Structure 1
Amino acid sequence: MIYLDWEDIKVALKDLSGILQVLAIVMLVPVIATLIYTPSADPFGILEDASAFIIPSIILYLMHKAIRAYVKTKQDTRTKHAMLTVVLVWMIIALVGALPFMIRGVLDPVDSFFESMSGWATTGMTMIEHPEVIDRDIIFYRSWTHEIGGVGIIALGLIVLIQSGNVAMDYYSSEVGGQKIKPGIKSTVLETWKIYLLYTLAGIVLLYIFGMTPFDAVNHAFAAIATGGFSTHTDSIGYYDSVFIEVVIMFLMLAGAISFLVHYKIFNGDVKAFFRNVEAKYMLILVVIVAFICFWSLIGTDTVGVDTLSPSDVLRKSVFQTVSAISCTGFGTSNVGDWPELPQTLIMILMYIGGFYGSTAGGIKLLRFAVIIKAVIFTVKRMLLPRHAIVSLRMGGKTVSQTELLYVLGLSMVYLVVAIVGAILIMALGYTGYESISTSLSAMGNVGIVYIQGSRWYDMHDFGKVVIALLMWIGRLEIFPILMLLAPLYNKSGKPKKED
């Protein structure tokens, strides 16, 4: 059991300081949108609007300076310190990141925290009912939180850390799966950002070519590659009713949901790396099966927002929503909350599974889902074959150890238990069990698809909003870093345990 003393906390705070410094700069980027989109010619009016981003930036910078001035330690960073830093930074940026919405009077404090957590955790759930009427710089800020949160604000902050190598990679492991691309954390992060930014730029250009305004193209490219889900329109991607835009968005969603290691191999000429990947095979199978069942369930029915007498329209919406769910993005061309229960249930299962390990997607990840399926097959084989038969559980040509299997099963089970607890808390507010579990899984998986309709969603009690925001936080960190903080500070003997 991990023991944290004050010295451990100081190590985590020391590393947190460098990340907060980077975030202080990141928070100033939306000021550019303020300068472009503020209609006032009065410099003081522009400064007043820009203060929504300047004030949080100053707060983050002062926190950085205070920690650096008062927290001194020579202890090296270890895994437990990395996990603690990850937990702290996501909560801090969600709290400070709520200020722009509050300062500009867009949302109340609880809704602002909800919106901020949803943005930084790349969930895409929103308490802004009609984004079209909100100032453009605030809408840009929402999308900007997706862009930065998607690849991992920890990964961005790592560039300023002194440490390099395996220990620093613990941070990257918490954010994007820990699959090394190049030796050294700085090289790994930079390679990740190159790939990420290339997809972002390509998405902006293509979306603009196919009919989006420059503003909409930037915002939707940010949200799609980050598998976020914030849109500039109430009707999300359905607003455009364009096959070409939907194809580009699906490409970006899938790109964000695929491991950066696979992207790196593809960019270096190994195109077959995708098709060799175990997760890719499972993703393709799930998309085909779920999209087909959704198509079959919708065709000929009386479903709002879908021309169920048009096979092409049903197919478009079935495929798009399936990709949106498994990539944990949450964009919509149709309101899934109006669909029949069978496709709704399948979409909910995809929200639980999620995308690739080492991607910006949420959920338990396809790799863990594949291990669970293999474990079931392995168990059946062991039952059917003679006792002396040698059967091993293998994944991608490698044997899965009992320790690894227990970790996968444990995380998947704890993930589900937390989602159920969250659903019970939401259900206590008067929502149905189906609405509650779907919302809980969507928040935990950082998906953003919501089955609760209209005012019943936007007028939810503040308690429910806080619960959902915390589920986003827990899901983004994949549970165990938070469980580490909740673990007893002493082992069974009552003495501190100094090892990791």
Structure 2
Amino acid sequence: GSSGSYTLYESEARSEKIHPSIVTTVREIWKIFIGLTLGSIALFLLVGMPPWDAINHGMTGIATGGFSVHAESIGHYDSPLIEYATVPVMVAGSIAFPVHYLIVKGEVRNFYTDLQTRWVFIWFAAGSIALTAILYANGQYATFEETFRVSLFQFVSATSNTGFGTATIGEGTEQVWSAGATLLACLGMLTGAAAGSTVSGLKLIRV
């Protein structure tokens, strides 16, 4: 029921309700979730992803579940455009639903003043830059753009706990990334993003 859904939502360390009514709060969360999912599917179609793939990746991207119809995940397409397009989908899934509600209601100013949301973006940016620096110093990839793209994608994927992949970090007992790069990605997985979103991890509000 709706009370059970709200209990799960509240257990994610975000106690404020979108609306005084629990039923309305749950209903609004569902509307936002469906809207974001449809928007993600449309974005994937726009950048050339096949319809069936776009539907699946749109649903699991916003849910930060990371399921893919390909063993190589997003790396299957070998498309920088699709990789860049996947990042905002994972970011959207990392933001708390009450904050999405503010955006829907046109209260963009409150979006910028939400402390947790601000830290989500700071952590995404800082982690991606640090990972880019490590991988570039190691000469891991052919160009700086590829290094940045892989770093941005993998760190956002790890921190949002989505689990989409475009690069091999390790293969069996063989370490592809350096220990420092792997540790940074694991740190992102541990912290997670915003409470009240679909991500797992500790949540930044608790760190």
Asked if Structure 1 and Structure 2 have the same fold, meaning a TM-score greater than 0.5 normalized by the shorter chain, the answer is: yes
- 1:258 deviates by 0.4
Are the equivalent residues in 1 in contact too, given 2:9–2:196 (CA < 8 A)?
no
Distance 1:353 1:265, change over 3 A: same
Q: CA offsets per residue over residues 410-447 of structure 1, 9 Å max, x none?
A: xxxxxxxxxxxxxxxxxxxxxxxxxxxxxxxxxxxxxx
Cα shift at 1:180: 0.3
Does the CA contact (< 8 Å) of 1:170 and 1:178 recur in 2? no
Residue 175 (structure 1) shift? 5.6
Please tell me whether the aligned partners of residues 169 and 178 of structure 1 are also in contact (alpha carbons under 8 angstroms). no
1:321 to partner: Cα distance? 0.7
Letter of the 2:152 counterpart: V
Corresponding position of 1:346: 184
Aligned equivalent of 1:222: 59
Map Cα deviations across residues 311-351 of structure 1 (whole Å, 9 max, x no partner): 01001000111111111111111122221111111111111
Match for 1:236 among 64, 70, 73? 73
Amino acid at match of 1:295: T
Amino acid of the structure 1 residue aligned with 2:145 = S
Q: Aligned in 2, Cα 1:179/1:335: closer, same or farther, shift over 3 Å?
A: farther
Partner of 1:256: 93
Question: For residues 279 and 197 of structure 1, do their structure 2 counterparts lie closer, same or farther at Cα, with a shift above 3 Å needed?
Answer: same
| Whole-angstrom distance in 2 between the partners of 1:344 and 1:260 | 30
Structure 2 residue 142 is matched with structure 1 residue 309: yes
Structure 2: how far apart are the matches of 1:188 and 1:175? 15
Change beyond 3 A, Cα 1:325–1:273? farther
Shift in Å, 1:199: 0.8
* Structure index of larger Rg: 1
Q: d(CA) in 1 for partners of 2:41 and 2:137?
A: 36
Q: Which residue of 2 aligns with 1:36?
A: none
3-state SS of paired residue (2:25): helix
Task: State the distance in 2 between where 1:315 and 1:364 align.
Answer: 26
> Identity of paired residues, percent?
40
In the other structure, the counterpart of 1:108 is none
* Counterpart residue number, 2:203: 365
Aligned-pair CA distance for 1:213 = 1.2
1:300 Cα deviation from its structure 2 partner: 5.6
Shift of 1:189: 0.8
1:308-457 alignment to 2 at 5 Å? 308-337=141-170, 338-369=176-207
Shift of 1:281: 2.4
- Determine which structure has greater relative contact order: mean sequence separation of CA pairs < 8 Å that are 6+ residues apart, divided by chain length: 2
Q: Distance in 1 between matches of 2:178 and 2:56?
A: 31
**8 A Cα contact 1:176 1:360, kept in partner:** no
Contact 2:45–2:51 (8 Å) recurs in 1:
yes
Partners of 1:229 and 1:331 within 8 A in 2:
yes
Q: Does 1:194 align with 2:27?
A: no
Partner of 2:2: 158
1:267–1:292 CA distance, 2 compared to 1 (3 A)? same
In 2: Cα distance, 1:176 partner to 1:278 partner:
14
**How is 1:82-231 mapped onto 2 (pairs within 5 angstroms)?**
157-158=1-2, 169-174=6-11, 177-231=14-68
Counterpart contact for 1:176–1:359, Cα < 8 Å? no
Deviations 1:223-280 (A, max 9, x none): 1000111111111111112233223211111111100000000111111223212122
Instruction: Give the structure 2 partner of residue 46 of structure 1.
Output: none
Q: 1:203 to 1:171 in 2, by over 3 A?
A: closer
Distance 1:172 1:314, change over 3 A: closer
Given that residues 90 and 157 in structure 2 are in contact (C-alpha distance below 8 angstroms), is that contact kept between their aligned partners in structure 1?
yes
1:261-306 deviation digits (Å, cap 9, x = unpaired): 0000011111122321212222222222221221122126364xxx
In structure 2, C-alpha distance between the alignment counterparts of 1:354 and 1:228, rounded to whole Å: 13
Match of 2:109 in 1: 272
How far is 1:365 from its partner? 0.6
Q: 1:274, 1:280 within 8 Å by CA — same for their partners in 2?
A: yes
Q: What is the alpha-carbon distance in structure 1 between the residues aligned to residue 23 and residue 2 of structure 2?
A: 7
